[in-house]
Chain A
C-alpha cells in the first residue's frame, strides 16, 4: 500500500504491549498500568475467562492440603512453571484480591485455606480454596446444613436432580447430612425461546424481575437448615446485590454452581479486571489479532494487528505473551504432528505426536503440558536454551510443564507469572 498504516507510535506510545486477555494477560496489564507503565492489551478475542468456573485454582495436586502446600509440591517438579515463579504466588494472589476488591469483586479464602470439596453442576466434587464471594458458601463447613440444589425450569444447563443423586453416592467427608433438589419456575422463563446463562444473568440484574424471582425461589425452600446451590446466573453488573438478595429472601446461605459456558462468573471476572486496567490508564482492545511481528535481532520492535484493509502497528519497549496454550488458541496443532506458537513463532515444547493422548478423555493427556520454555525472568528460550527475545515475557498457560487441569494450578500460575513479569518489566523501566 502507498502509505504506512496507523502506528501507535506517539498516540499513544506504549511501554508494554500485552497480548492475550485471559487471566494472565489481564492481571499483568493491570499490574503494569498500576505501576505507571503505559500498557496496551491487545487480544484476538475473549476466551478462557468465559469458559471457566471463575474460582481461583492455585495448586491442588494430589496429597496437598492447602494451595500453599500444593505450590511447594509443584515447585519441586523440575520444569513446572512454579519452579520459576513460586515465590511470587503470595504477592500475586494478594495483589489480585486487592485489585478485584477495589471494583467490588470479592474473593474468599487464602493460600492457607484447606482444599475443600465443592459440588459441581454434574454432582461431582472438586477441590476449592479461594472462591469469588458468590461461590464461597460452598466451601464453608456444613455443620447441620442440608444441601438444596436448585434449577430453573426452562434453563437447560442445571441438573439438580441428577447432581443430587450423584452427590448422594460420592464420598464427601464433612459434607451435608442431606441433599435435596428443586426445580423452580421463574416468572416467564418457560416461555422464553432463547435462554442461556448470560441472558438469565441479565434478567437477574433487573431489580423488579429479581424480586419476583426471589419469591419463587423462596417458596421452593422447605423448612429446615439448608444451604442453597443455584446456577451461576445471579447477575453480572449487579451480582453482589443479587447474591445478597437471594440469601436475604431465603434466609439461607447460597452459592453459585458454575456450569457449561458461557461462564457468568468468568464474565464478571473479565469485566472487573478490564475495569481496573482502564481505571489505571491502560488500554484494552479486544478484536486486535496479532498477524505480524517486526524483529530486530533479539528484540521485538513492534507487533501488527489486523485492521480493515491494513494492519495496525503497535511498537513498545517490551511485549508479554499471554495467549494461552491450546485452549486459549495461542498454540495450535498441525496435521504433521508439530505445534506452533501463533504470535512470535516461539519453539513449542511437547511430547511426540504418538504420545499426545491417553485413551480415556477423562484422564490427563500428556499433551497438556505443552508450552513455551522460559528462563527465570520468563524470557522465552530457543531450542539451544538461549533467550530467544530479550524483551518478551511469556506468562500463563502458554508456559510449558504444567498439567493445569489435573493439578488445578492454571490460575495460580497465571497470576504468579503475570506478577513476576510485571515486576521484572517495571524494574527494567526504572533502570532504563
Chain B
C-alpha cells in the first residue's frame, strides 16, 4: 500500500494535512454558534489530530470532540478539502476504544433492537411509556435520554412485516430487468416508525414502472458510527453489503428514503469504517436517494409527471446528511412539479437533532438552540406541514415547532393520488 493508497483509505485523517488554519469551519459550525463549551471544528479536528497517536493508540487525549454533532457542515465549507467532521468522528471512536461507551449510547444506537422490542402489537404500550412524563423523567435520570428528546412512536407493524404480508419480492425475480427493478433500502425509520412512508415510496416506484424488491437488510449502522461504536457498525455494514453486493453488481439500483441510510451506504462505510473492498464499492456506487433517483428519471423524460395540485405553503429543510451527498436539493426540484405547491427552502444550517445527539440529556439543549431559528421559521410560515428527508430531523422539527413534518415522498405520493382522483381513476399495484 503506497502513501496514496493509505491516503485514500484512511483519508479523513490524512486530509487534515491540508488544513491552513483559516477558521472558515469555525464560522459555520452550528454547535459553536450556540455554546462556548465546544472549541469548534478546527480545534477538535485537524488541530487536535496532530496530537493523537496512530489508530489503536492506547490512550485518547480528547474530551471536547464529543460535543461535535457530526453535521458535516464544516467539511463542506472547508476550502482546503479537510474532512473535518469525519476526523472528529474517528477521534470519538478512539475515545470509545479507550474509555468505553455508555449503556445509553449503546442502547439508542441499536435501533434494530429497539424496533424488535417496540414495533409490534404491544407498541401502544411502549408509546404510552414514551409519552409518560414520569417515565421519561426516569429515563433521563437513569439512562440520560432527555425527557423531551424527540422519540417517534413505535409502529404496531414493521414495514418488513407489511412487505412479507404483501408477498413482496425479497430477491431478484428470475429474468428481471435490472434497469426496471429497484432494491428498496427502507432503514429503521420506515421499518419501525414510519412504515407508511415506505408504502408511499413503493407506490411511487411502482407507478413509475419499477419492480421493487426488499432483500434482507439491517440497520445501516449509522447510529453506531455516530457514537464511535465502530465494531458494532461494521457488523451491520458487513451484513448489508453481503446482502446487497450481488444485486449492485448485477446493475440493480439501491434506493433509500432516509438520506442518513443512503449516506452511510454511499460514503460512511468507506470513510469511517474502512470498508472499501469491491463489494462495498459496488453497493456505494449503486445507492441512490429516492429524490435523487426521481429527478434523474425526470432528466431523461422518464418520470410520470401526472401530479395533482397541492396548493399550500411547504417549508422544506434539507438535512445535513443530504447536503453531504453533494447532490443539491432534489426534493425542491420535485416540488416544482407539483401544481400549486409553494415549497420554500429553510436556508437554515442544521435542525440540531444530528441523529442520536439531540436525544442525549447533556446535548438536548444544544440541539434545541441550534434548531431554534428553523423552528421559528417553520411556525411563522403558517404552513400545515413541513418536509424533510431525514427521520430524526423530521421528528425534531415536528416536536419543537409543533408543525407535522413529513418526507418529500409523502407529498409526492399524495400529489399522484390527487391526480388519480381528479382523473377519476385509481392506481392499482401491478404484481
Binding site for B on A (CB under 8 A): 1-12, 44-47, 50-51, 192-196, 198-199, 202, 260-262, 267, 278, 283, 285-289, 305-310, 312, 328-329
Q: Which residues of B contact A5 (CB under 8 A)?
A: 296
Q: Which residues of B contact A192 (CB under 8 A)?
A: 36
Q: Which residues of A contact B80 (CB under 8 A)?
A: 45, 329
Are B287 and A309 in touch, CB under 8 angstroms? yes
Q: Which of B26, B285, B298, B336 contacts A196 (CB 8 A)?
A: B26
Q: Which residues of A contact B299 (CB under 8 A)?
A: 6-7, 9-11
Give the residue name and chain of the B residue nearest to A196 (CB). Answer: B26
B32 within 8 A of A: yes
Given contacts A7-B296, A308-B325, contact A47 B285 (CB under 8 A): no
Give the residue name and chain of the A residue nearest to B82 (CB). Answer: A45
Complex CA–CA separation, A194 to B44 (angstroms): 12
Q: Separation in Å of the B180 CB from the closest CB of chain A? A: 12
Per DSSP, are chain B's interface residues mostly helix, strand or loop, or mixed?
A: helix
B170 within 8 A of A: no
Q: Which residues of B contact A1 (CB under 8 A)?
A: 285-286
Q: Which residues of A contact B287 (CB under 8 A)?
A: 309
In addition to A2-B178, A44-B81, A199-B33, 7 A-B residue pairs with Cβ atoms within 8 Å of each other are: A1-B286, A50-B24, A51-B22, A194-B32, A196-B40, A262-B27, A287-B75
Could you give 19 example pairs across A and B, Cβ below 8 Å? A1-B285, A2-B251, A4-B296, A6-B295, A10-B298, A50-B27, A194-B36, A194-B43, A198-B23, A198-B26, A199-B33, A261-B22, A278-B347, A288-B326, A289-B81, A307-B326, A309-B266, A309-B267, A312-B326
Q: Which of B77, B285, B328 contacts A46 (CB 8 A)?
A: B77
Complex CA–CA separation, A189 to B263 (angstroms): 39
Complex CA–CA separation, A288 to B76 (angstroms): 8
B103 within 8 A of A: no
Are B327 and A312 in touch, CB under 8 angstroms? yes
Give the residue name and chain of the A residue nearest to B326 (CB). Answer: A307
Q: Which residues of A contact B38 (CB under 8 A)?
A: 194
Q: Which residues of B contact A6 (CB under 8 A)?
A: 292, 295-296, 299, 327-328, 330
Q: Separation in Å of the B263 CB from the closest CB of chain A? A: 6
Q: Separation in Å of the A292 CB from the closest CB of chain B? A: 13
Q: Which of B77, B178, B327 contacts A307 (CB 8 A)?
A: B327
A-B complex: 6 closest residue pairs judged by Cβ atoms: A287-B76, A307-B326, A45-B79, A47-B79, A309-B266, A262-B23
Given contacts A6-B296, A312-B326, contact A193 B27 (CB under 8 A): no
Given contacts A6-B327, A308-B266, A309-B287, contact A194 B33 (CB under 8 A): no
Q: Which of A10, A45, A306, A307 contacts B78 (CB 8 A)?
A: A45
Q: Which of A4, A10, A287, A309 contacts B77 (CB 8 A)?
A: A287
Are B292 and A194 in touch, CB under 8 angstroms? no
Complex CA–CA separation, A194 to B32 (angstroms): 9
B28 within 8 A of A: yes
B324 within 8 A of A: yes
Q: Separation in Å of the A333 CB from the closest CB of chain B? A: 13
Q: Which residues of A contact B23 (CB under 8 A)?
A: 50-51, 196, 198, 260-262
Q: Which residues of A contact B76 (CB under 8 A)?
A: 45, 286-287
Number of interface residues of B (CB under 8 A): 46
Q: Separation in Å of the A196 CB from the closest CB of chain B? A: 6
Complex CA–CA separation, A3 to B267 (angstroms): 17
Are B79 and A194 in touch, CB under 8 angstroms? no
B333 within 8 A of A: yes
Are A47 and B22 in touch, CB under 8 angstroms? yes
Q: Which residues of A contact B40 (CB under 8 A)?
A: 194, 196
Are B27 and A308 in touch, CB under 8 angstroms? no
Complex CA–CA separation, A202 to B38 (angstroms): 15
Are A195 and B22 in touch, CB under 8 angstroms? no
Complex CA–CA separation, A357 to B39 (angstroms): 36
Are B286 and A287 in touch, CB under 8 angstroms? no
Are A11 and B323 in touch, CB under 8 angstroms? no
Are B79 and A262 in touch, CB under 8 angstroms? no
B92 within 8 A of A: no
B37 within 8 A of A: yes
Q: Separation in Å of the B259 CB from the closest CB of chain A? A: 10
B236 within 8 A of A: no
Q: Which residues of A contact B81 (CB under 8 A)?
A: 44-45, 289
B385 within 8 A of A: no
Given contacts A10-B298, A194-B39, A262-B24, contact A328 B79 (CB under 8 A): yes
Q: Separation in Å of the B86 CB from the closest CB of chain A? A: 12
Complex CA–CA separation, A190 to B131 (angstroms): 41
Q: Which residues of A contact B37 (CB under 8 A)?
A: 193-194
Complex CA–CA separation, A388 to B25 (angstroms): 35
B284 within 8 A of A: yes
Q: Which residues of B contact A267 (CB under 8 A)?
A: 27
Q: Which residues of A contact B251 (CB under 8 A)?
A: 2
Q: Separation in Å of the B210 CB from the closest CB of chain A? A: 13
Are B27 and A12 in touch, CB under 8 angstroms? no
Are B79 and A305 in touch, CB under 8 angstroms? no
